[in-house]
Amino acid sequence: MKLSRLALAITLAPCAALAETVPSLDQALKLSDTVISANREVQLRSKSSVATSVFTREDIERLQPSSVIDLLNRVPGVQVTSSGGRGSLSSLFIRGTKTAQNVVLVDGQRISDASSGSHFLEHLSIHQIERVEVLRGSRATLYGADAIGGVVQIFTRRASAGQRQASLSLGYGSRGTWERAASLALANESTRFNLSSSSSDTHGIDRSTHASTYDNDHDAYRKNGLSLNLAHDLNDDLQLGLSLLEQSGEVEFDNEPLFGLHPYSDFRISSQSFYADARLAEQWKSRLELGHSENRYKTRADDTDNTRHNYTYRDSASWLNTLSLGEHNQLLLGVDWLEDTLHSNNAYTRASRWNRGLFLQHHYRGENVSTELGARHDKNQQFGGNSTYNAALTWHLNPNNDLILSYAEAFRAPSFQDIYAPMGWGANPDLKPEESKSYELQWRSQLTDSTLLEASLYRSKIRNAIVADGNWVMQNLDSARVNGFEASLEQRLGDWQAALGLSLIDPRDADSGHTLNRRARRTLSVDLDRAFGAFTVGTTWQTVSSSYDDVGNQRELAGYGLLGLRGSWQATTEILVSAKIDNLLDKDYSRAQYGVGFPAEYHDYREEGRSGLLSVTWTPEF
């Protein structure tokens, strides 16, 4: 290990600090000023060195997003593109990095597809979600491979201590859209239980501008969801819990008639996890996590026997240990193990791969400065060993202002599709793992008791970045680099609540100078809400600059702006009426292009025009 990188930061730590008290995990899930993913345990957001964004269940109900994608597109530095409306394949870009260079977790379990690295965020029901945390910046020391750009963690619905509540929701909207949801939360002093279900379907839109006889139709989308959470305190020092998430359905799409005239995909995404939290000594907390997740995708059509399926099965285990070393120091020690298995009707040259990781991270909290130092070593079955490091120095200028300087390394092993796919699918068995180094300067300022300003200036360089060349064969670039600036402003004033997110990035192939594809250079998101007693009203304005759909920067995607309105009425203590209009100005826009007759002819994927939804939620008292 190159410990000299850590030794420099150690010398910066002073000898005095202030202790702090943080809430329990159950409490933290309901709070907006805590974060769980940044250090894989609860801490105050103001004490974390990582740039974070948090959406609680209260935020979700106020903002009324249609999907996780709608929620994430509000985060500065984050872009989620789709390929033709609801249920279409999405791509996640955090700070200019692509989908496979980011980690997405559900209750601590990775849900990405081992074949392509896709996360299928489009299929996660917003009704099953308690909380969403977004970490912006490399976090490979704690999460291992793929955490180059950042980490998104989704927590499913949870019950609060003493809660006894049921709810039923029904909504109807544009294009024959129906949304149904139900939940039950029961809790006493030692046991917490939550069961949630949802179902939705829509007639959809014609997903592309390609006007052939086989593509000129509306593409429907149907999905069902279920989540369950159970936690029990055996005593003051031991808690056991389990979580389950299941999402399934089918999505129709536009495509050349490879699978029939009207192709669609059946999908099933699931994760199960078990944990045991124990305090083994006054200064020693330990957590054991066991998990299993599945991604099952099958593409077919009713008028042909042609099918294609990729099923990913992932087993994982983690052991985390937090040691309090006096009043000012804390040490996190952990071990991770996971194994991916791919079942496909395509002849991949390898169908399974395991990875093991060992990491440690030290935190020092002082009155004037704080430090964070971390190291990790991973061993991959295919690529052998890889070590990553991170360091952060926080200068507490005064009680309301912090400056944070940080450095982080990360890596990503090529996906199964990149390296093991059958001949003719673009795989390259000679690919090397991607490696990155990132530098960041943050400023956080509590301008007033109700105003928080955060800004980040960062630079990332990725060696051996994996991209498709002109013949759709995967290749390693010498390097790609991303320079960026992002800022967020949160304001609460009486019955008013506002949030602004701004991002400016310059993501480039360092060799050719081309802008990395599907990354917009400028994004802006503004949310403004106001309460009037039993009524609330709100609006969202999002602008996205132009981008390129291809690596050669020949096919440009136009920029766009979207305006949305929302409102709710608490008619009685049990009845809530909500309504919203998305894309109020009926903007015609596209986030990706659709290739027909490669490479000569391309068409745009359409996104939804103006759409509305009216819903009623009944929360009976019992």
Which range (93-97, 213-217, 310-314) has the least confidence? 213-217
Averaged pLDDT, 316-329:
94
Residue in this structure with the two tokens 């600059």, named with its chain if needed: 545
With 0-12 / 13-18 / 19 or more C-beta atoms within 10 angstroms meaning exposed / middle / buried, residue 48 is buried
pLDDT score, position 260? 64
pLDDT score, position 574? 95
For residue 316, which of 289, 298, 280, 286 has the smallest C-alpha distance?
A: 289
pLDDT score, position 7? 39
Averaged pLDDT, 76-80:
96
Write out pLDDT tens, residues 79-105: 999 988 899 889 999 999 999 999 999
Q: What is the DSSP string of 350-403?
A: --EEEEEEEEEEEEEE-SSEEEEEEEEEEEETTTEEEEEEEEEEEEEEETTEEE
For residue 131, which of 237, 222, 56, 212 has the smallest C-alpha distance?
A: 56
Provide the 8-state DSSP code for 127.
G
Is residue 120 within 8 A of residue 111, CB to CB? The reply is yes
At 83, give phi and psi (nearest 5°): -120, 55
Helix (H, G, I), strand (E, B) or coil at 5: helix
Q: What is the DSSP string of 440-468?
A: EEEEEEEEETTEEEEEEEEEEEEET-EEE
Averaged pLDDT, 167-191:
95
pLDDT class of 213 with cuts at 50, 70, 90:
low
For residue 77, which of 590, 513, 520, 527 has the smallest C-alpha distance?
A: 520
Map out the domains of the chain as residue ranges: 4-618
Helix H or strand E segment including 290: strand 284-300
Cα(418)–Cα(139) distance, integer angstroms: 23
Cα(351)–Cα(342) distance, integer angstroms: 5
Is residue 228 within 8 A of residue 194, CB to CB? The reply is yes
Cα(281)–Cα(290) distance, integer angstroms: 22
pLDDT score, position 9? 38
Cα(86)–Cα(222) distance, integer angstroms: 10
Share of the chain above pLDDT 70, in %: 94
pLDDT score, position 259? 61
Averaged pLDDT, 302-318:
87
pLDDT score, position 81? 92
Amino acid found at 285: K
What is the gyration radius of the CA atoms in the chain, in angstroms? 24
pLDDT class of 21 with cuts at 50, 70, 90:
low
Residue 130 pLDDT exceeds 80? yes
The 10 Å Cβ neighbour count of residue 479 is 17
Helix (DSSP H) and strand (DSSP E) numbers for the chain: 6, 37
The 10 Å Cβ neighbour count of residue 97 is 29
Residue 599 pLDDT exceeds 60? no
Cα(542)–Cα(71) distance, integer angstroms: 12
Greater pLDDT, 473 or 484 = 484
Residue 4 pLDDT exceeds 50? no
Residue 583 pLDDT exceeds 70? yes
Helix (H, G, I), strand (E, B) or coil at 590: coil
Is residue 394 within 8 A of residue 49, CB to CB? The reply is yes
Residue 275 pLDDT exceeds 70? yes
Which range (206-215, 280-289, 379-388, 514-523) has the least confidence? 206-215
Cα(343)–Cα(466) distance, integer angstroms: 24
pLDDT score, position 115? 86
Global pTM reads 0.93
Write out pLDDT tens, residues 331-349: 999 999 999 999 988 888 8
For residue 537, which of 10, 62, 137, 82 has the smallest C-alpha distance?
A: 62
pLDDT score, position 263? 83
Which CATH architecture group holds 4-618?
A: Beta Barrel (2.40)
pLDDT class of 284 with cuts at 50, 70, 90:
very high
Write out pLDDT tens, residues 543-567: 999 999 888 898 899 999 999 999 9
Averaged pLDDT, 508-515:
90
pLDDT class of 232 with cuts at 50, 70, 90:
very high
Average pLDDT over all residues of the chain: 90
